[in-house]
Amino acid sequence: MDVTQVLCMNGGNGDNSYSNNSLLPRKVISMTKPVIEDALTNLYRALNFPKTLLMADLGCSSGSNTFLVASELVKSIDKIRLQFGQDESAEILIYLNDLPQNDFNNIFLSVSQFQKGLAKQTIRNSSSPPCYFSGVPGSFYTRLFPKKSLHFVHSSYSLMWLSKVPEMTETNKGNIYMSATSPPSVIRAYRDQFQTDFSTFLKCRAEEVVTDGRMVLTILGRRSDDPSSKECCYVWDLLATALNHMVLEGLIEEEKLDSFNIPQYAPCAKEVRNEVEKEGSFTIDHLEVSDVNWDASTDHNLILSEEDNTHGYNMGKCMRSVAEPMISSHFGEAIIVEEVFERYTNIIKDRMSKEETSLINVTVSMTRKA
């Protein structure tokens, strides 16, 4: 699998789009708002109230979450400059980055609407800060920006995706991810790939971020030291269950299943800290672990749209919007893909009705050293 060609969320605004099924990641972005605001306040002060701020959202996808991040960044900067008694807003340029298959067109079509909405939302009696956008297609495991050009980097729910499927010396039989039944060599291959990728990511960003620049990353992770623990593997184990049933019924070839592995690794906080310290260019200011229920609509503190409230939240559809391009590319026929997601959604619904199910987030805020 060539991850840069295959990995993307379902584009557009349709029923199965990421845009319409990403309440859970949206909730995670909202949860990390205080960490982002803190980092931006310290940045603003350290850079002595800059007139221009260049920011990047890496793995921005497309749809409402892309603009939620942008709006949080702009609103925070506006609030901070008022706190510091600055009359003039900084001009903000936000680079929106994702892999080339991402639906950038959908983003660009929504920019002017976002800018109009922003003018209404910014603090009363203050004109909204000038905000410009630029799309940056490419892998964040490569250099994306000129040296020392970025003041702030944000990324949410993207860095758990690896640059490639780990090279395995044994077959991960019956599994599509790390699992309790995966051979130890498979778990090692996943862990090694994460270490290589995350350290490459840090090296690239170290080149691009200015001294005192800040970076806030939220990664789908785990609390346990064990990379095959249920808290990070369960959601993919359930997809493997659906696929294994279809193998038993002769709908999918066994070899097809055995050759499919999800290019993802959910690290614990210790692994994130180790890689940052090993690479050495950033100081960790804050590292936290949080939980988010699969049923993101259960949190009443979150401001949801009317539609989110009335229809509840469907984790099956969220997972489809994330995994469908990968499943289609590997398993092919549309009819099989439909069947996979119908079964997967039913299994997820059943589990959610019987047990507490949540995902773990690792959020790290750091500063570029001199």
Ligand X SMILES: C[S@@+](CC[C@H](N)C(=O)[O-])C[C@H]1O[C@@H](n2cnc3c(N)ncnc32)[C@H](O)[C@@H]1O
Report the number of secondary-structure helices (H) and strands (E) in the chain. 12, 7
Q: How far is the CB of 71 from ligand X (least distance, A)?
A: 13
In angstroms, rounded to a whole number, what is the distance separating the alpha carbons of residues 247 and 252? 5
Q: How far is the CB of 245 from ligand X (least distance, A)?
A: 26
Nearer to ligand X, 163 or 345 (CB): 163
Q: How far is the CB of 90 from ligand X (least distance, A)?
A: 23
Nearer to ligand X, 276 or 326 (CB): 326
Q: Looking at beta carbons, which residue is closest to ligand X?
A: 59
The position carrying tokens 């039913």 is 346
Nearer to ligand X, 216 or 252 (CB): 216
Give the binding site for ligand X (CB under 6 A).
7-9, 22, 25, 29, 59-61, 65, 97-99, 102, 139-141, 156-158, 161, 163, 322
Q: How far is the CB of 99 from ligand X (least distance, A)?
A: 5
- The residue among 190, 183, 13 whose CA lies nearest residue 103 is 13
Beta bridge partners of 218: 156, 363
Q: How far is the CB of 211 from ligand X (least distance, A)?
A: 25
Q: How far is the CB of 68 from ligand X (least distance, A)?
A: 8
Nearer to ligand X, 122 or 158 (CB): 158
Q: How far is the CB of 146 from ligand X (least distance, A)?
A: 18
Q: What is the CA radius of gyration of the chain?
A: 21
| Residue 356, SS3 per DSSP | coil
Nearer to ligand X, 158 or 172 (CB): 158
Q: How far is the CB of 81 from ligand X (least distance, A)?
A: 25
Q: Estimate the crossing angle of helix 64-83 against helix 33-46, to 10 degrees.
A: 50
Nearer to ligand X, 62 or 367 (CB): 62
Nearer to ligand X, 198 or 282 (CB): 198
The alpha helices in the chain, defined as continuous H runs, are 3-6, 23-31, 33-46, 64-83, 104-121, 184-208, 230-248, 254-258, 269-279, 306-311, 315-331, 334-354
- The residue among 325, 13, 2 whose CA lies nearest residue 139 is 2
Nearer to ligand X, 50 or 137 (CB): 137
In angstroms, rounded to a whole number, what is the distance separating the alpha carbons of residues 66 and 304? 16
The helix (run of H) or strand (run of E) holding residue 284 is strand 282-293
The first and second tokens of residue 15, run together, are 């029923």
In angstroms, rounded to a whole number, what is the distance separating the alpha carbons of residues 348 and 34? 31
In angstroms, rounded to a whole number, what is the distance separating the alpha carbons of residues 204 and 77? 25
